Chains A and B, each alone.
Chain A
Amino acid sequence: MFDWTIWLGIIILIATVALAFIYNWWTAKEEGD
């Protein structure tokens, strides 16, 4: 379907959202929330 370069763009987008969740989870752990 899509070229791999387009998939890569989509993966970066999804990974960014995932990273936001991971960052929050990680800092919450450190802060002991």
Chain B
Amino acid sequence: MHMISQITEQDIPIFWIVLIGYLAVLLAFGFYSRKKTKSVEDFLIAGRSIGPVLLGLSFGVTYFSSVLIIGGGGQAFVWGLGAIWIASFNVLVGILLMFVFFGKRTKYISEQARAVTIPQLIGFRYQDKNYQAFSGAVIMFFEMIYLVSVYVGLSKLLTLLTPSGSQSETDVAYMVGVSLCAIITIVYLVFGGSIGAILSDSVESMIMIAGVVLITIFGLASVGGLEGLMAGLAGAETIGSITNPGTLESFTIPFTTGSLTTFVGFGGMGLLGFILVTSFGQWGMPQSLSRFFTAKNKKALKYGLLVACVWASFVAFFAYFNGAVANAYWFLHAGDPTIDATIIAVFKDIDMNIPLFLRQVMPSALAAIFIAAVTAASMTTGEKLILISASGFSQDVYQNIKERGGEKISDVKMLRITKVSTIFVVIAALLLALTKPEFVLTLCMFAWSAMAATILVPFVFGLFWKRGTAKAAWVSGIIALSVAVAWWLIFRFSNPAIEAVFHDLRAIVLQTNPFAITLGDYFVAPGKMIKTGIHEFIVSQVVALISFPIVSLFTKAPDGQFVDSLFKGMKALRK
């Protein structure tokens, strides 16, 4: 009988040593960057001084954080090898097209506006400081919620640390680990700001390469190479059902022939919907768009694109591939009660696919190092969210409102205020992550749809269409945000009361939409998102896409001289 091996007691110190070692490196980065962080511009956007390699890696890591290794591996449990298409389109749309379309233009306008935040840039483009405050407030709130989800995600990984598997031990490890990381994040962010954060991005990028390669090597060895992988996936497609070793009930496996070994085999267009959401969603993420602000010059953007593409295609490909390997492994050993129990556990929470797989196929000490590395790297991911959230308050709301009366706040004072906001964001996120209030956990699921609602369409039109107006930004932003919230509540939020009211409506939407992500009932649990129905991102963005040009054309054209000179400058960038 196969036993899911635990990380042994004597290997647990390895976890803490690696974690603390990484945090020490971060502190060193913060200390090193301290002298370079003298102004708000240094603190938030690295003083526009970042060269191609760091820019490319930082961009890649911001998009595919270490969370991808866990989350992507979970998606590939469901989609099988077809999940590789997620990697392909993410790199094509979310990196290549994003750099080509937005890189130089974003950098140019941010310099013209002397902007350090995305809402500042949008506010400048439309000459509307109120919209800056509005989108800044949305970003401040949801970026912090997003940060909470990164912290909470760690608790899953840390279940591997407890030899007894007991909940109380996991809770203690989570509490100590997350608190330690948060406190060190505060210290080194306050010293080093975004320069320190970008340096640590480069370390995270290396950790991720090492991580995916290690899992691939151990994974392929465990299934017996590519032939074993295909045999395992074929087994999963045809097995039909397994028996729950606990209750002895039969558990129906939803995979069907071709569902794991071909693209769009399972759930019809569902995978395509997921690809759309994750690829285009990137265009509305302030933490990614603001990477362009940090570029030293055009050359940094140019070669940064290559670094980001090469790094991301490698990491994303293997992250998804490994998820399929893990799936194959489980089904190669189906029939064994421990493995069957594991398969059912993974169906209940697909994010456990990779963590459980690691524990199964890696030596205990190596798994301990791996968990520590991913835990530490998640902190790096958190840094950018913290800085963006903090600047949403300090720059877009506080400074914006204070300076209306003509009062000018000195850079030194603003730097201090931004740093205080940073501390506040980390502490608030930490408290939420430790107490895990139900409403916050549910908000996490659509945090980035909400941010994209107020940013994506006004930003893209603002860069390419002179006629776009501030009123259109307001209308599309507010409608998209409301639609995103309403759609999610009505169609995708699992709650018995809401389910009862909207049951018929949900059924109609599910039957008629081609992008329904139909994974059966396995992922439906109270308080969790139902992975069925069109994603609120798609619906809200379509509404914004339609409303923005219509409202623009019906409202007064923006100041011709200002917009003309801005677009003239952008046009000259091609030369």
Chain A interface (Cβ < 8 Å from any Cβ of B): 1-3, 5-6, 8-10, 12-14, 16-17, 19-21, 23-24, 27-28, 31
Other contacts beyond A9-B88, A13-B92, A13-B317: 18, CB < 8 A: A2-B81, A3-B258, A3-B263, A5-B82, A5-B263, A5-B264, A6-B81, A6-B262, A6-B263, A9-B85, A9-B263, A13-B87, A16-B92, A17-B91, A23-B100, A24-B305, A24-B306, A27-B302
Whether a CB of chain A sits under 8 angstroms from the CB of B487 is no
* Cross-chain pairs A/B with CB under 8 angstroms, 27 sampled: A1-B226, A1-B230, A3-B81, A3-B258, A5-B263, A8-B263, A9-B85, A9-B263, A12-B85, A12-B88, A12-B92, A13-B313, A16-B88, A16-B92, A16-B95, A16-B309, A16-B313, A17-B91, A17-B309, A17-B313, A19-B96, A20-B96, A20-B305, A20-B309, A21-B306, A24-B305, A31-B575
CA distance A13 to B263 in the complex (A): 14
Whether a CB of chain A sits under 8 angstroms from the CB of B84 is yes
Binding site of A, secondary structure by majority: helix, strand, loop or mixed?
A: helix
Chain B interface (Cβ < 8 Å from any Cβ of A): 81-82, 84-85, 87-89, 91-92, 95-96, 99-100, 226, 230, 258, 261-264, 302-303, 305-306, 309-310, 313, 317, 575
Shortest Cβ-Cβ A-B pairs, 5 listed: A5-B263, A13-B88, A12-B88, A9-B85, A20-B309
The residue on A at minimum CB distance from B86 is: A9
Name the distance in Å between B295's Cβ and chain A's nearest Cβ.
15
Cross-chain contact of A13 among B84, B302, B303, B306 (Cβ < 8 A): B84
Q: Report yes or no: B81 in contact with A13, Cβ–Cβ below 8 A.
A: no
Q: Report yes or no: B84 in contact with A9, Cβ–Cβ below 8 A.
A: yes
The residue on A at minimum CB distance from B299 is: A33
Name the distance in Å between B272's Cβ and chain A's nearest Cβ.
12
Q: Point out the residues of chain B lying under 8 angstroms from A2, CB to CB.
A: 81, 230, 261
CA distance A23 to B84 in the complex (A): 24
Name the distance in Å between B228's Cβ and chain A's nearest Cβ.
12
CA distance A8 to B302 in the complex (A): 27
> Which of A9, A23, A24 lies at the interface centre, i.e. has the most chain B CB atoms within 10 A of its CB?
A9
Q: Report yes or no: A24 in contact with B263, Cβ–Cβ below 8 A.
A: no
The residue on A at minimum CB distance from B261 is: A3
Q: Report yes or no: A6 in contact with B261, Cβ–Cβ below 8 A.
A: yes
Q: Report yes or no: B306 in contact with A10, Cβ–Cβ below 8 A.
A: no
Cross-chain contact of B91 among A1, A13, A21, A24 (Cβ < 8 A): A13
Q: Point out the residues of chain A lying under 8 angstroms from B81, CB to CB.
A: 2-3, 6
The residue on A at minimum CB distance from B320 is: A9
CA distance A16 to B95 in the complex (A): 10
Q: Point out the residues of chain B lying under 8 angstroms from A1, CB to CB.
A: 226, 230
Given contacts A1-B226, A5-B264, A16-B96, whether A10 and B91 have CB atoms under 8 Å apart is: no
Q: Point out the residues of chain A lying under 8 angstroms from B96, CB to CB.
A: 16, 19-20, 23
Q: Report yes or no: A6 in contact with B82, Cβ–Cβ below 8 A.
A: yes
Name the distance in Å between A4's Cβ and chain B's nearest Cβ.
8
